Amino acid sequence: MKYWQLSFSVVVVSILLLLSGCVDQEEVLAPKSGETGHLAKTVTGDRYLVGFTNSPDAGIVEGVGGQVTRTFTIVPAVAAQMSPQAADALLKNPNIAYVEPDYEMFAHSQTVPWGIDRVFGDESYSFSTWDISTGNDIGVAILDTGIDEDHEDLKVAGGETTVDDTHWGSDGSGHGTHVAGTVAALDNNLGVVGVAPDVSLYAVKVLSDGGSGTVASVVAGIEWAVDQGIPVLNMSLGGSSDSQTLRDACDAAYAAGHLLVASAGNSGNPGGRGDNVGYPARYESVIAVGSSTQNDTRSSFSSTGPDVELIAPGSSILSTLPGDEYGTYSGTSMASPHVAGVAALAWASNTGLTHSEVRQILRDTAEDLGLSSNHQGYGLARADLAVAAVSGAEPAPDDPTGILAGTVSDAETGSGIQGASVTVDGTDFSATTGSDGSYSIENIPEGSYDVTASADDYVAETKPATISGDETTTLDFALAQEEDDDPDDPVNGELSIDVFDLTDSSNPAWARVTVNWAVSGENLSSVQSELILDGNVIDSQTSSVSGSGASGEHSLRNRNGHGNTYQVKLTVTDTGGNSVSETKEIDL
């Protein structure tokens, strides 16, 4: 087995690539922000990832002589090119959360195949589990070197390139095509067959034909897959250093309901000692997959550590290669797609499951190989057991919950107060009142709570409420207007919303609205936009401002939220706590 040979210093990074049939590659990623920061030279030139405390602002980067090359939407960050001196200057700006190098990433090792049969347990081809599920209606994104879209044994639904100008449907490396075959090679009497032959397969080319990419290209690939609503993301790639941008992107994708599966890495040793799982597999939001052999032992190269969650076949795996070819590779890169395929099978048999429920099913049905948990995690992924657990299990009873509903009105006039906030104290449950002052908060666990209603220019009121399962508790508020201690004080009166324009910027995956705003007043402090549906705040964005005038743009969104009428509330606040709000409606 041949490997990338690495040597680096703070300034120079040299990479020696040895080729002999298959390519074994060691990965390089950005160092953890705050440890070495921007002082370490990036592998690919003066390329950096810049995180913002609020919305990305290209002008800040350009102001120090940098050039923004990509703006992300999944995280408040940009990819940029600049000098180390410019990166130094950026770190002094209070609007900058971090600056880190955009390090290279590479496909995990691949050398020489078998494993579909193993993950179906005692079943033999044609697997009886396929009578229940073959992966129909579940999308799997292969974040890799691309997929040969013309391969006789693969059906690719679409894709995207984030690394260079090559097409996602070509794969000069072969790595991505090999990974794709393990997930979804067709059951067509040709070549091989994948774990889930009827999934919707997507090629997300985040690594070049040489097997390398950057954190930026991988994050952009994650972002594209999330925007397309693809449930399962397979990342047979990684590196040895942490990246805050990559971590945040994985966490955001997981929070949005996507299941992320990644190869644990090939930095293991024959004794299986040490904690050497790579990134992004090391992140809590990602399933880290180790590699097993035909003898149910750990592959000697497979990385080990407490972050290993599952193990799957990864030694000598036969799969598809570009040009209607087939070949055997080894590596945790080959193990990861087995798990992605099993996840797709289980999810397709009950699309009502959440991603976290699918993940738990994979854990609960994994086969204990008798190995250390640092080597196998929960055990070997089993397609037959996972699908059986989904199709035969009774849904777990939910904890009883109830609904809190009512109105918030003006105590003097009795008219409803629009845009008032109702908060169940000590919880994350809250709502904003509609045009008639009504609100409704669902799925509150049974129990007794204090509930607070508040609105601009009114005295807040707190009342007790008892929530009972499957019942609606009514709680109305009548708020008194605040007295103006100093009627001659002009600060609140001088706050003004000068521009408040809404633009429908939705895409197939997200109902999205762009808020263009301009405000003025004395001692401005913040501007907040809120997206409200049926009295509930779906999304919000806040910008810190100062001085007597400010303008900007907010992007608010709701996943799969098309076909609804939303309220958008814009609030400007000064340093004295005074605020002015305005609400508009938009159909998305």
For residues 211 and 69, what is the distance between their CA atoms, to the nearest angstrom?
A: 21
Say which of 33, 200, 299, 333 is annotated catalytic: 333
pLDDT in tens, 290-310: 999 999 999 999 999 999 999
The yes-or-no answer on residue 375 being catalytic is: no
Confidence bin at 3 (pLDDT 50/70/90)? very low
Enter the tokens of residue 104.
């290279």
Can you point out the beta strands (E) in 120-230? 139-144, 156-161, 200-205, 212-214
Confidence bin at 540 (pLDDT 50/70/90)? confident
The yes-or-no answer on residue 333 being catalytic is: yes
Enter the tokens of residue 393.
């299990």
CA nearest to 116, candidates 433, 342, 287: 342
For residues 457 and 365, what is the distance between their CA atoms, to the nearest angstrom?
A: 56
Say which of 38, 175, 178, 258 is annotated catalytic: 175
The answer to whether 102 touches 48, Cβ cutoff 8 Å, is yes
Torsion of CA 409, 411, 414, 417, to 10 degrees: -30
What pTM does this model have? 0.59
For residues 341 and 307, what is the distance between their CA atoms, to the nearest angstrom?
A: 20
pLDDT in tens, 4-42: 322 222 222 222 222 222 323 323 222 222 222 222 333
State the greatest distance between any 2 C-alpha atoms of the chain, in Å, as a whole number: 85
Q: Average pLDDT of 278-295? A: 97
Q: Is the pLDDT of residue 190 over 90?
A: no
Phi, psi of 571 (to 5 degrees): -130, 130
Q: Give the chain's mean pLDDT.
A: 86
The answer to whether 500 touches 512, Cβ cutoff 8 Å, is no
Phi, psi of 114 (to 5 degrees): -175, -40
Q: What percent of the chain clears pLDDT 90, i.e. is strictly above it?
A: 67
CA nearest to 206, candidates 192, 220, 196: 220
Long-range contacts of 482-487, Cβ-Cβ distance < 8 Å, separation of 24 or more: 482/457, 482/458
Say which of 24, 46, 102, 144 is annotated catalytic: 144
Confidence bin at 265 (pLDDT 50/70/90)? very high
In the chain, what are the domains? Answer: 32-102 (3.30.70.80), 106-390 (3.40.50.200), 401-479 (2.60.40.1120), 494-587 (2.60.40.10)
The yes-or-no answer on residue 144 being catalytic is: yes
For residues 199 and 193, what is the distance between their CA atoms, to the nearest angstrom?
A: 12
